[in-house]
Amino acid sequence: MRIEAVRGDITEQDVDAIVNAANSSLMGGGGVDGAIHRAAGPQLLEECMELRRTDLPDGLPVGQAVPTAGYALRAPWVIHTVGPNRHRGETDPALLAACFTSSLDVADAVGARTVAFPAVSAGVYGWDPAEVARVAVDAVRGWTGDVELVRFVLFDDAVLAAFTRALDAP
């Protein structure tokens, strides 16, 4: 598997699936979540509402992932995952790693071979970007499946630098 890090807008990635750093309600929000919902269009929210009515009445648990269609996005799939919130005491790196591995499991299950990830939990959820980068890169490197490309799409130079350092580490 090829792993790369770029600075950019995850909603504009030409990949099979983009990962949404969602909240457990799946109803959109700020940051990456809000940007993906806006770019995908109202059908994404409708599908998320249906998931809440049926399969996920209590919301999506931290560390798990679920797919939806991409609608108006270039990517045909959006994989929603809920990162741990450090401000709520969710500090276990294994929970954060599960976001990446469960998203890759879902990508594999839907046939996605190229996947773009944001820096899950590095924003408003309070995790240090360098720690997110180390956990994310280690999780992706340790995962086995048929995904051919993982692209970390980062929103600023500092976060990109943290991911570049993690990728350069042995």
Catalytic residues: 33
Residue 161, Cα to own-chain centre: how many angstroms? 18
Residues 99-111, buried b or exposed e (16+ Cβ, 10 A)? bbbbbbbbbbeee
